[in-house]
Amino acid sequence: MDIVVLAGGLSSERDVSFVTGSNVAKALRENGHRVILMDVFMGRGTEGEDITDWFARSEEVSTQVGAISETAPDLAAVKASREDKSDCFFGPNVIEICRKADIVFMALHGENGENGKVQAAFDLFGIRYTGSDYLGSALAMDKSLAKKVLTAGGVNMPRGFAIKKGIPSKQLPDFPCVVKPCCGGSSIGVSIANNQKEYDKALEEAFRWENNIVVEQYIRGREFSVGVLQGKALPVIEIAPVEGFYDYKNKYKAGSAVETCPAELSQAQTAQMQAQAELAASVLGLDTYARMDFLMDEDGRMYCLEANTLPGMTPTSLIPQEAAAVGLNYNELCEQLIRISMEKYAKRA
């Protein structure tokens, strides 16, 4: 097949997206496909350029990718570096080449890739893509909205409330608490506050990234993640940061966290967490694949933290490790994500 792997964009997870995209593109090429890795914001070439032979020159026209830095990217600098200086989210030739592809593998992460806007645009252009549709993506991406929907659907989540920038909140936190951007990912802008001074600093940090944030009760305990493919949970993985909490640095720097899969839980605990992950995917309408993050406190109570509609596929990412635990290697996982997404479109035809 001819496949575009779409990465980059303008989210705080831009660099992570490139590494996901680079790994996916390599795997799909090894699987025999013609693959173009493309930065959705920068695009390639100039508007109106002849792109008829691009898949024949797929590696030549692909975006070149570096390593993930330990800090989030400077998005203002990214915008300023675009040659045509356009503020259009889709760079030159992105839509055109995606329309020529059999399917687009969505390697985007963060607000501008997982909030449903790209998916909705692709639906209008008749472009097939991997992952959930625009509605499920939008519901899952907004942590405040997702909390309401998931809680109503029977998924246990931490208590919390939302705050809009410039509007004083009438609700006060119970310390310790977690402060995080409403639509961010990779723990960027997330802080743990133990007192009012730390809380004020945490609010300032979170509002650097977004105008809407969420404040939640702090759950002290073990951290887990569960991938879901076509409604069926993968093995549970436990994440134990060597130092601090599972922040941006610990997520992507090798050796910063100890990850155990399958997690050392009782059969009953494993079944309960997997059932909660499957329920969360169902409630949000995530019908192809997703990943749910959990905390379990010292008394064994489980809390779903959030749903990720386009989970990372970097060398240290969680879903590839979970898939490996059931005998599905990285290349096979990428192929399966293509297959189940194509099957979704076949059913609609």
| Cβ density class 216-228: b for 16+ within 10 Å, e for less | bebbebbbbbbbb
pLDDT tens per residue across all 349 residues of the chain: 999 999 999 988 888 899 999 999 999 999 999 999 999 999 998 888 999 999 999 999 999 887 777 677 888 999 999 989 998 999 999 999 999 999 999 999 987 789 999 999 999 999 999 999 999 999 999 998 999 999 999 999 999 999 999 888 888 898 999 999 887 655 678 999 999 999 999 999 999 888 999 999 999 999 999 999 999 999 999 999 776 554 444 444 556 789 999 999 999 999 999 999 999 999 999 989 999 999 999 999 999 999 999 998 987 789 999 999 999 999 999 999 999 999 999 988 7
- Which one, of 170, 41, 145, 25, lies nearest residue 94 by Cα? 41
pTM: 0.89
| Cβ density class 112-144: b for 16+ within 10 Å, e for less | bbbbbbbbeebeeeebbbbbbbbebbbbbbbbb
- Which one, of 309, 79, 347, 93, lies nearest residue 185 by Cα? 309
DSSP class of residue 115 equals S
Q: At residue 258, what are phi and psi to the nearest 5 degrees?
A: -100, 120
* Unique residue bearing structure tokens 């995917």: 281
What value, to the nearest 5°, has the Cα angle with vertex 224 and ends 218 and 229? 130
Pairing of strands 34-39, 2-7: parallel
* Unique residue bearing structure tokens 């990285």: 330
